[in-house]
Structure 1
Amino acid sequence: MSAASVSHRSAVGHVPVSCHLRRAVGREHNPLCRPVDRARSRLLIALVAAVALSLAVGMVVFLVLLGGARAHARQSALHRHEVTATTLVASTASPTGSPWAAQAQAGWAYPGGDAHTGVIGVPGDTPAGSHLLLWVGDNGIPSTPPEPYGELAAAAALYGLGALAVVDGAAWIGYGIRQKTLERRGEAAWEADWERVEPQWTGRSH
């Protein structure tokens, strides 16, 4: 690559944003502006638009998923009820993999005073007669507690970031491929122009 080509690339790398905008819409009246320069400006504007779009897509995905998760959580919470369970025997070691340290036979009343008994997870070394809070469904069977809002928001944010990364990554990959193509085209055109002008400019043709 010639020194003239390097100098040209350095000069176009410091074009103001306003100039890129004028070039992109064809309103820059610079006789030195070539078609490849306008293509570079349009590519840069397209990249900025794609990045903005990725942010919008990520935000939309986050809000839609968060809204749906909150609605589902509210609906599920209507069928989750907190009752007081009383252990009937002392706790024993829980099977491997259980989130509780131990388990015990316990009794509770729901709904309408209906008595239920069953094995529930309890803290380790829980004696008989201990009172524990227990989440049950409408039928009185033990169930999972309502999902915390923080976990719902974190999950929605994770999916939103994933959508943002996909769109943004695709934009940057496309920009890189197109930029290399324009770079090769610009260098070829510049070298051809320089070979034509250089003999006259330096006086070598005489």
Structure 2
Amino acid sequence: MARAIPPAQPPPEHPDPDPDEPRHALTWRWRRNPLRRPADLAQAWIALGLFLAVLAATPVAMVLTGDAAHRHYLRTARQQAATRYEVTAVTEHDAPRHLEPGSDEAGKARYPVTVRFTDDAGRTRTAEAEVPPSTPAGSTIRAWADTEGRITEPPLTRDQIRDSALGCAVLAALAVPVAGAVAHRWAVRRLERRNLARWDEDWARTAPRWTVR
């Protein structure tokens, strides 16, 4: 009595005609054998091409990104230097005490307090600045203000410009291999779907010829 033909099973992922020969995960697609599919060789070429592309693109991306970032932060620093100035400000009230006086955290902690200062036009301004814990009212501090009368950070220094540009260059260098890995995974999935589609087509032509008794 004839029974239904079982559905097609997916092809082996890594065909190897000689089971006694050790597999080399990085080279088996390059070796000639009757079971090697065109898609296997295509996958090997894609991996090699992407690897070489990543090697070539990584230093280029670092240089271009680092240079662009350096010019951007340099322009920012020049703009900040033209619109910010240093002032002497007086605290209006006591700063809060730190929970652990004398600790390393207390030495790094800063609390916002209201300060009073005179801007570059001679007007008295009040703003909020960050000061060390327990700073008493009436203390004088050095701060930076902008043309709007707000307390702000000082202009970027050369070291900050260099470090920021270097950070952008490193991120670009990391992004290139990630992009290569994503492109490789996408290409492999496309090839796998294509292989499975062809496998189903071949099985659809072969299955009607089979009978199981």
TM bracket (short chain): 0.5 to 0.7
The equivalent residue for 2:81 is: 77
Contact 1:100 1:123 in 2 (8 A): yes
Which residue, out of 111, 135, 138, partners 1:126?
A: 135
Q: 1:51-77: per-residue Cα shift (whole Å, max 9, x none)?
A: 235515642334323432332232222
Distance in 2 between residues matched to 1:74 and 1:6, nearest whole Å: 68
The equivalent residue for 1:52 is: 55
Which residue, out of 42, 45, 70, partners 1:42?
A: 45
Which residue, out of 61, 65, 68, partners 1:64?
A: 68
Distance in 1 between residues matched to 2:66 and 2:20, nearest whole Å: 46
How far 1:12 sits from its partner (Å)?
A: 9.2
Contact 2:117 2:124 in 1 (8 A): yes
Question: Structure 1 stretches of 5 or more lacking a match?
Answer: 21-29, 185-206
How far 1:167 sits from its partner (Å)?
A: 1.8
Contact 1:57 1:164 in 2 (8 A): no
How far 1:35 sits from its partner (Å)?
A: 8.2
Distance in 2 between residues matched to 1:47 and 1:58, nearest whole Å: 15
Contact 1:61 1:160 in 2 (8 A): yes
Contact 2:77 2:155 in 1 (8 A): yes
How far 1:85 sits from its partner (Å)?
A: 1.6
- Bigger Cα displacement from structure 2, 116-125 vs 57-66: 57-66
AA in 1 matched with 2:124 = H
Which residue, out of 17, 41, 44, partners 1:4?
A: 17
SS in 1 for 2:152: coil
Provide closer, same or farther for how the CA distance between residues 150 and 130 of structure 1 changes in structure 2, counting only shifts above 3 A: farther
Could you say which structure has the greater relative contact order, defined with CA pairs below 8 angstroms and 6 or more residues apart? 2
SS in 2 for 1:4: coil
Q: 1:37-95: per-residue Cα shift (whole Å, max 9, x none)?
A: 764553343122332355156423343234323322322222121222233x442549x
AA in 1 matched with 2:168 = A
Distance in 1 between residues matched to 2:195 and 2:20, nearest whole Å: 14
AA in 2 matched with 1:116 = T
- The answer on 1:136 being equivalent to 2:148 is no
Contact 2:127 2:149 in 1 (8 A): no
Distance in 1 between residues matched to 2:140 and 2:24, nearest whole Å: 77
Distance in 2 between residues matched to 1:133 and 1:73, nearest whole Å: 20
Identity %: 22
How far 1:135 sits from its partner (Å)?
A: 0.6
Q: What's the Cα RMSD here?
A: 4.6
TM-score (norm 1): 0.55
How far 1:172 sits from its partner (Å)?
A: 2.7
Q: Following superposition, which runs of at least 4 residues in structure 1 exceed 6 angstroms of deviation?
A: 181-184
